[in-house]
Structure 1
Amino acid sequence: MTGARTAVEWLASAAPDPEACRWEWERSPGGVALLPAGKVWDVLILPAGLGRPTFDVLTRVTGRPGPVLVDLRDARTGFFVPAGTAGRWVGTGVRTAGPGTWLVVPYPGRPAAGGVRWLVPPDGSGTLTDPALLELAMHEAAAGLAGGEGP
Structure 2
Amino acid sequence: MPQPTRPAALHEAGDAWLADCSPHPDLTRAAWEAQDLAPIASGPRWLVAESTLTDGMPAATRIRDEQRGPILADGIIGRAWWLVPTQAAEDLADVPHLTVHAAGWVLACPPMDTVVDGRFWLWRPDGSGYLTDPAVLAAAFGPGWYRCPAEAS
2:111 paired residue number: 107
1:52 paired residue number: 57
The count of aligned residue pairs is 138
Q: 1:132 to 1:64 in 2, by over 3 A?
A: closer
Contact kept? 1:70, 1:77, Cα under 8 Å: yes
**Amino-acid identity (%):** 28
Q: Offset at 1:87? A: 5.5
- Are 1:16 and 2:23 matched, yes or no? yes
Equivalent AA in structure 2 for residue 124 of structure 1: G
Q: In the alignment, which of 5, 30, 35 is matched to residue 29 of structure 1?
A: 35
Aligned pairs for 1:21-100 within 5 A: 21-22=28-29, 24-30=30-36, 32-58=37-63, 61-63=64-66, 65-73=68-76, 75-86=78-89, 89-91=92-94, 92-100=96-104
TM-score normalised over the length of structure 1? 0.79
Equivalent AA in structure 1 for residue 135 of structure 2: A
Runs of 4+ off more than 6 Å: none
TM-score normalised over the length of structure 2? 0.78
Deviations 1:66-118 (A, max 9, x none): 11111114722211111232365312432223312001111012x22212111
Deviations 1:117-150 (A, max 9, x none): 11101111111100100101111477xxxxxxxx
Return the alpha-carbon distance in structure 1 between the equivalents of residues 110 and 144 of structure 2: 27
- Where does the alignment leave 5 or more consecutive residues of structure 2 unmatched? 1-7, 146-153
CA RMSD of aligned residues (A): 2.3
- Where does the alignment leave 5 or more consecutive residues of structure 1 unmatched? 143-151
Equivalent AA in structure 1 for residue 98 of structure 2: V
Aligned pairs for 1:101-140 within 5 A: 101-109=105-113, 111-140=114-143
